[in-house]
Amino acid sequence: MHRGTQEGAMASRLLHRLRHALAGDGPGEAAASPEAEQFPESSELEDDDAEGLSSRLSGTLSFTSAEDDEDDEDEDDEEAGPDQLPLGDGTSGEDAERSPPPDGQRGSQLLARQLQDFWKKSRNTLAPQRLLFEVTSANVVKDPPSKYVLYTLALMGPGPPDCQPAQISRRYSDFERLHRNLQRQFRGPMAAISFPQSHY
């Protein structure tokens, strides 16, 4: 429930920023274009100006991987200038050559580019998080012909103190395998973390 509230607030902030970026357009048209109808998720906006805004913002936003970043930027600089329309947007060749895109379209293209840049930077940045693990129970499970111990851990991360910790229940061998994988991937930070021996 808390996560849904955060997502709703983030969507509201994004919608607010989009409106300000497109403020030079004037009032939005009430009728959605055929291109906007191809993306039904744009009709789920629940604001007064939702129809006009969604007709201007319909389209697909894609993010590339970090490896493709340098190649794509070089190709983009060579192929298209800042005032050219992207290929396949539905305008005829003559109209595209004579008139630059409207300010709103240019603003939305700029915003999409900023979002892509932010996404790429955040994916390449590792932010250390401090987590606290606590073993809350250890139960012997008899599942003939095998018998094993099921450990339950509470995982507490950074956040509000009233937040409920996550519960994880697994066998000792599963936690041991996780510890080995983490040591292999993060040698430095994991060097100081010891893994307890099983007493069962």
Residues 65-110 have pLDDT tens digits of 544 555 545 545 444 444 444 444 444 444 444 555 555 566 667 6
What pLDDT, on a 0 to 100 scale, did the predictor assign at position 158? 75
Please check the confidence at residue 36 and state whether its pLDDT lies above 50: no
Is 86 found in the same domain as 157?
no
- 77 vs 46, 61, 82, 186, CA distance in Å? 37, 19, 9, 37
> Quick check: is 81 in a domain?
yes
Q: What is the number of structural domains in the chain?
A: 2
Is 115 found in the same domain as 37?
yes
196 confidence band (pLDDT: 50, 70, 90): confident
Is 33 found in the same domain as 113?
yes
Is 170 found in the same domain as 89?
no
Helices (H) and strands (E) in the chain, counts: 8, 3
Please check the confidence at residue 31 and state whether its pLDDT lies above 80: no
53 confidence band (pLDDT: 50, 70, 90): very low
Higher pLDDT, 123 or 27: 123
Chain centroid, CA 158 distance in Å: 19
Of all residues in the chain, what percent carry a pLDDT higher than 70? 44
**Mean pLDDT of all residues belonging to the chain:** 65
Is 100 found in the same domain as 22?
yes
d(CA 172, CA 180): 12
Please check the confidence at residue 139 and state whether its pLDDT lies above 70: yes
Is 113 found in the same domain as 141?
no
Burial class (CB in 10 A: 0-12, 13-18, 19+), 96: middle
What pLDDT, on a 0 to 100 scale, did the predictor assign at position 37? 45
CATH code of the domain in which 165 resides: 3.30.1520.10
Is 118 found in the same domain as 144?
no
Is 26 found in the same domain as 6?
yes
pLDDT tens track for 173-191: 898 898 889 889 888 888 8
- What is the DSSP annotation of 80-127? --TTSPPTTSS--HHHHHHSPPPHHHHHHHHHHHHHHHHHHHHHT-PP
Please check the confidence at residue 171 and state whether its pLDDT lies above 80: yes
Nearest to 171 by CA among 149, 153, 154, 155: 149
Parent domain of 150: 132-190
Is 116 found in the same domain as 152?
no
Is 71 found in the same domain as 20?
yes
pTM exceeds cut of 0.75: no
d(CA 18, CA 183): 43
Helix (H) / strand (E) element for 182: namely helix 172-185
Instruction: Give the mean model confidence (pLDDT) for residues 41-50.
Output: 44
Is 163 found in the same domain as 111?
no
